[in-house]
Amino acid sequence: MEPQVSELKQKIEDTLCPFGFEVYPFQVAWYNALLPPVFHLSLPGPTLAFLVLSTPAMFDRALKPFLQSCHLRPLTDPVDQCVAYHLGRIRESLPELQIEVIADYEVHPNRRPKILAQTAAHVAGAAYYYQRKDVEADPWGNQHISGVCIHPRFGGWFAIRGVVLLPGIEVPDLLPTKPLDCVPTRADRITLLEGFNFHWRDWTYRDAVAPQERYSEEQKAYFSTPPAQRWALLGLALPSEEHSLVSPELLPLTTHTPKPQNPSTVRGWLSPRVSPSASPGP
């Protein structure tokens, strides 16, 4: 890896990794090469970017402390706002650089996604994006089958959170890292895609590979509980408009965009929103 990329990656990791995130560099050109022009990032091809994902540890290291800090302040989507806060801290760690952060849930006014997160994860080498085209002679006929990313160490027990773009930083000599094909057989790919599309509520598709770590039972219960009841689950008071203990610096640095339940309109590139957080999250 180029020294400049290694240095920037280390600074971002120092900011994010203690809170349960992982960071992977890629070139904008690699992402654009797999997509129609309407989805391209409008930056020169060699521009450096980083894919950010959350591991199971994010729940305890980032989300719970964030909720405790903000527990008397109304939050429209605690997970996304927590992630936005941590992504915003990257600007503080690299004040000399122009930085653009795109969260996975952000959309344009016409509802077109600003980033196709699973494609970005694939080209960054973070997780393999399994799609219908990866199954020879598939058995699904006219059914729409959405793809899903699988992480070589966490299986499906992770979430893609967004990308960090560094306009003006070009790395034409950066070599791509291929994602590990950890579900190589046709039968296992069919099981994975059917589990994700038809049985996602039972969590089993996430075990497409034996994960080093899964979501804790508390974390699974949190994401399975209706939002209004999640605060009590963690022993926190229900947010109130009348009280706030959170300091302004704990709030996200960007305006939060509410997520639709299923903004997927791009067949073959976006998976359905099947949970309160980022695909294949939460």
Per residue in 110-137, pLDDT (tens digit) is 999 999 999 999 999 999 999 999 999 9
Mind listing the pLDDT tens digit for each residue in 152-180?
999 999 999 999 999 999 999 999 999 99
Question: Residue 275: pLDDT above 70?
Answer: no
277 confidence band (pLDDT: 50, 70, 90): very low
**Residue 256 vs residue 110, higher pLDDT:** 110
Q: For residue 128, which of 152, 158, 144 has the smallest C-alpha distance? A: 152
98-116, pLDDT tens digit by residue?
Answer: 999 999 999 999 999 999 9
Q: Is the pLDDT of residue 41 over 70?
A: yes
Whole-model pTM over 0.75: yes
| pLDDT at position 91 over 80 | yes
176-219 pLDDT tens trace: 999 999 999 999 999 999 999 999 999 999 999 999 999 999 99
In whole angstroms, what separates CA 59 from the centre of its chain? 14
Q: Is the dihedral of CA 189, 195, 200, 204 positive or negative?
A: negative
Residue corresponding to tokens 């280390």? 10
The model's confidence at residue 238, banded by pLDDT at 50, 70 and 90, is low
pLDDT at 59 over 80: yes
The mean pLDDT value of the chain amounts to 86
- b/e map of 44-66 (b: 16 or more CB within 10 Å)? eeebbbbbbbbbbbbbebbbbeb
